[in-house]
Structure 1
């Protein structure tokens, strides 16, 4: 059977190519096997990636056991938590595009037969999945896995509590010594931060999409079970190559629907909307915000993971993992059974015989934590193209809310006001010019939302932005507002003291200013230019599309 790698390794004219591989130490026997690339995102900055070398070695063992030859290259990775609140966060979302482009470059410049992607944290996971869909060669994903939760005063904590601890310290609720203790305990191991944040959300969803094996999203990073899973993934990729199964065979529209259903049932990060739209575009699947909206009212939120509840990914793993969650959702008759997966089974074959072992972690359908899906899409004059809210993280007292606008043209200005105790009950913090183009880079607003929550204002203050949020955000925090301010969106016309109305149950958000006044404001409105106008982010600002379409680069 002809292989993709034949074009670089077969025939007398490819003697120079083979000679270069032999300089790497490969033998003729190895070069005659299927060539499997491993995209390794190892670095010693990001906690989710510091242990990747062990997993890569396990993947290599699996590939060799199955008769393939592994070759390895590295991929960059930004730590969103470390990049938070300063210049670095401008680079986080754009790094997703760089990652996708670099993987595409490596596997097409060196035409391999198959691909194993090893991501862990926020933008690295969707970036690699985008690349897999784009190059469309047999691919399997094995992530670094979730971090363990920390323990403070007998309670599980994680990075969200460290961020919220800053607000508690500034408001006098805890001492500096207590904040230091929380800091030391909050992130106790390698792995992607232990709540249902962006990375863990997408890692879990990858199982439902079919691109990774059961357990990929939930087995804790330090566990030997993850090393074993990596070996199995290495064996499975050789099988996928031999069978010719590619990502676009797996990631169909029906598979994306399954992913959205699981997303709603888990109460995932709002970033899943952004990333699933982007991955679908690379997979040539027409996915829109309306597809998310159609499942919001059909799927209850059965889980309460941090930051909106007490549980973490290790709890989900103990409860039976993602396949047990899908089994619990089966009576809704919404899941598509026939979607194939990298395991060699259909998704239904993967979950039909599973069970839930902890009902408090994955509740029964008739006892949900929230009667609707974890995420919802809001529209109205402020977001005609849509905005995203984690509704399961909103106190019910805020489902209908009218507040006065406190307007800031950057996250930094908003933080200064929040930390300066200038935000009061009944306020709506408006942070604009932080969208994909205006930021540029669509920064996460975890520091402002965490400070508001830490100060005990999350039941009295709303926040809206054309930027986005970390999965660690809770409260009435609406992001991804489209169109963004830099592209002429109405959010750019809000003035201090304007009234803003929210109706979560009816999925509405409106600026309560009459049309005549809005038209007058438009006459004098000139959007501000991007904050960064040099380097690669200047190019990004010119080329990036709207959040409502995944904030992908447009050509």
Structure 2
């Protein structure tokens, strides 16, 4: 029996040799569909985040099969494997939400583990919900093999232009007496019509847009409906694109550069993206070996305007942005204005400028993306606030509709559930600054999203009258005067742990400060009396996460290198 010719693109797969050593592995691969000719082809791992636990990912197995077909037709051998996903929309407001951000690390770990063990030469990763997208990118960055990310696509609007956030806010409106239970139930039954990620510029669509701007997905991937021929074509093209990247020997480290991350930040600012993008982009950059900090968001934000009238603070949904051409015309407009680095390499094998060269502008009359000279807000809506309450930084989403300055009295809660109950029963009133602490990466653990409290505030009509600050984070669907990611977190003895009911707090989103109006001497007295609480979990994944996770200001990663 002669040696099988080896494709030179097979850099990571175990070499194909005759003899007993490889008989077992060849036999096992035959059992999953390999034929003689497949053993000499580059193997392309297809990382699928398919799951029935969320509509964001319920269609992704079909997309994975299409991506596999694309790799096969281009001369590779596709191999589908699964990783996990969780559902933020289902878990929000419960103890289960503590697993959400943790899942990002589990996904990155699992993609690295499977691909590293099996020796795939290239990868396609398909994600459809908040954490599995950055988790996929982090896994691809660790492996640094030719790779393409595919977004599963956005959901269509529900009846009456509703979406998942409509359901959360309906609960608050019911508590205020403005909606009946029957009306709430009708919204709940019709807001989610099928597969796809949450329909506004929430975290899923934010991260999909960021990854396309980063150069790690094919042009147009971020702005396609989940159930569409365009999305199927995107998946097939991604399988073929990996083979092209293998030919060109282009790896994620060639694409995910400092300038590429700056492009991603620029695009998500113009789109009014989620505060979670700050956490995820810093985490992704950290994994890719790129130094990205909170200061980069401030630096870029001073010269980049908010242009998109998209939910949650705006009017339109992602499916409506898809209908007018997605984000490619926006990126072309930004490139022409000198606001993007056009020389960044992308997964097409071409530069960003080359990809955008033939893109046509939006048609006249569309109202979703404003021109550069008529912005919704002249500077970024993502505000990085420092002060004696957040000496290592915090993140706010201030579009201007909430105002830019808030002064109020602290109403302190030790958990999300405690705050939610007091919002719904009317205890929280105008002028309050809700302080929800011990919800950080270590203290929660897991840094839950405060979607239920922010939605209840909006539903009760207090969006302009109440501020909320936390060492946890927010859903991309949260809006109002909210500040999250406060570091150091309460569990680590950060100043947020020292706030008492009635303390005055001043938040200024123009000079980007967040201050507790208490004297240094008084703060020191409180600090001396403070004791760190016992960990809430001592075994299992949450305990492991709490022991290894870094600060939110460094991306809340679990593999931060030793200094």
Q: TM-score, normalised by structure 1?
A: 0.97
Q: Report the Cα distance in structure 2 between the residues aligned to 1:8 and 1:341, rounded to whole angstroms.
A: 29
Specify the alignment match of 1:99 in structure 2. 107
Specify the alignment match of 2:540 in structure 1. 535
Conservation of the 8 A alpha-carbon contact between 1:328 and 1:356: no
Please give the secondary structure, in 2, of the residue aligned with 1:388.
Answer: strand
Determine whether 1:544 maps to 2:549. yes
Specify the alignment match of 2:58 in structure 1. 50
Specify the alignment match of 1:368 in structure 2. 375
Q: How far apart are 1:124 and its partner, in Å?
A: 0.6
Conservation of the 8 A alpha-carbon contact between 1:207 and 1:322: no
Specify the alignment match of 2:328 in structure 1. 323
Determine whether 1:113 maps to 2:121. yes
Q: Report the Cα distance in structure 2 between the residues aligned to 1:181 and 1:351, rounded to whole angstroms.
A: 43
The worse-fitting range, judged by mean Cα deviation, of 84-93 and 54-63 is: 54-63
Please give the secondary structure, in 2, of the residue aligned with 1:293.
Answer: helix
Match of 1:124 among 132, 136, 142: 132
Please give the secondary structure, in 1, of the residue aligned with 2:80.
Answer: strand
The worse-fitting range, judged by mean Cα deviation, of 526-535 and 142-151 is: 526-535
The worse-fitting range, judged by mean Cα deviation, of 15-24 and 475-484 is: 15-24
Determine whether 1:388 maps to 2:370. no
Specify the alignment match of 2:433 in structure 1. 428
Specify the alignment match of 2:156 in structure 1. 148
Give unpaired runs (5+ residues) of structure 2.
1-7
Match of 2:25 among 17, 21, 43: 17
CA separation of 1:331/1:235 partners in 2, compared to 1, >3 Å: closer, same or farther? Answer: closer
Determine whether 1:61 maps to 2:69. yes
Q: How far apart are 1:318 and its partner, in Å?
A: 2.0
Specify the alignment match of 2:3 in structure 1. none
Note the alpha carbon deviations across 1:141-179, whole angstroms, 9 max, x for none.
Answer: 112101111132xxx221111100100011011111111
Alignment of 1:71-470 (within 5 A): 71-152=79-160, 156-354=161-359, 355-357=361-363, 359-392=366-399, 394-396=401-403, 399-470=404-475
Note the alpha carbon deviations across 1:430-457, whole angstroms, 9 max, x for none.
Answer: 0000000000000000000000011000
Q: Report the Cα distance in structure 2 between the residues aligned to 1:223 and 1:471, rounded to whole angstroms.
A: 24
Note the alpha carbon deviations across 1:71-112, whole angstroms, 9 max, x for none.
Answer: 111101000011111121010101111110000000011101
Give the 4+ runs in structure 1 shifted more than 6 A. Answer: none
Note the alpha carbon deviations across 1:245-288, whole angstroms, 9 max, x for none.
Answer: 11110110010000011111111010000000111011110111
Match of 1:523 among 518, 521, 528: 528
The worse-fitting range, judged by mean Cα deviation, of 253-262 and 522-531 is: 522-531
Give unpaired runs (5+ residues) of structure 1.
none
Q: Report the Cα distance in structure 1 between the residues aligned to 2:475 and 2:538, rounded to whole angstroms.
A: 25
Q: Report the Cα distance in structure 2 between the residues aligned to 1:6 and 1:103, rounded to whole angstroms.
A: 16
Match of 2:11 among 4, 8, 19: 4
Q: Report the Cα distance in structure 2 between the residues aligned to 1:448 and 1:426, rounded to whole angstroms.
A: 16
Conservation of the 8 A alpha-carbon contact between 1:375 and 1:390: yes
Q: Report the Cα distance in structure 1 between the residues aligned to 2:455 and 2:526, rounded to whole angstroms.
A: 33
Please give the secondary structure, in 2, of the residue aligned with 1:157.
Answer: coil
CA separation of 1:340/1:10 partners in 2, compared to 1, >3 Å: closer, same or farther? Answer: farther
Note the alpha carbon deviations across 1:526-555, whole angstroms, 9 max, x for none.
Answer: 122332233221121111110000001146
Q: How far apart are 1:326 and its partner, in Å?
A: 1.0
Q: Report the Cα distance in structure 2 between the residues aligned to 1:330 and 1:38, rounded to whole angstroms.
A: 32
Q: Report the Cα distance in structure 1 between the residues aligned to 2:169 and 2:81, rounded to whole angstroms.
A: 37
Conservation of the 8 A alpha-carbon contact between 1:9 and 1:17: no
Match of 2:502 among 493, 497, 520: 497
Q: How far apart are 1:180 and its partner, in Å?
A: 1.1
Please give the secondary structure, in 1, of the residue aligned with 2:478.
Answer: coil
Determine whether 1:37 maps to 2:79. no
Conservation of the 8 A alpha-carbon contact between 2:9 and 2:121: no
Q: How far apart are 1:30 and its partner, in Å?
A: 1.3
Please give the secondary structure, in 1, of the residue aligned with 2:485.
Answer: strand
Conservation of the 8 A alpha-carbon contact between 2:248 and 2:349: no
The worse-fitting range, judged by mean Cα deviation, of 348-357 and 332-341 is: 348-357
Q: How far apart are 1:393 and its partner, in Å?
A: 6.3
Q: Report the Cα distance in structure 1 between the residues aligned to 2:30 and 2:406, rounded to whole angstroms.
A: 67
Conservation of the 8 A alpha-carbon contact between 2:68 and 2:236: yes
Q: How far apart are 1:331 and its partner, in Å?
A: 4.6
Please give the secondary structure, in 2, of the residue aligned with 1:350.
Answer: helix
CA separation of 1:8/1:16 partners in 2, compared to 1, >3 Å: closer, same or farther? Answer: farther
CA separation of 1:96/1:393 partners in 2, compared to 1, >3 Å: closer, same or farther? Answer: farther
Conservation of the 8 A alpha-carbon contact between 1:439 and 1:532: no
Q: Report the Cα distance in structure 1 between the residues aligned to 2:367 and 2:280, rounded to whole angstroms.
A: 29
Conservation of the 8 A alpha-carbon contact between 1:8 and 1:17: no
Q: How far apart are 1:359 and its partner, in Å?
A: 3.7
Q: How far apart are 1:244 and its partner, in Å?
A: 1.1
Q: How far apart are 1:6 and its partner, in Å?
A: 4.3
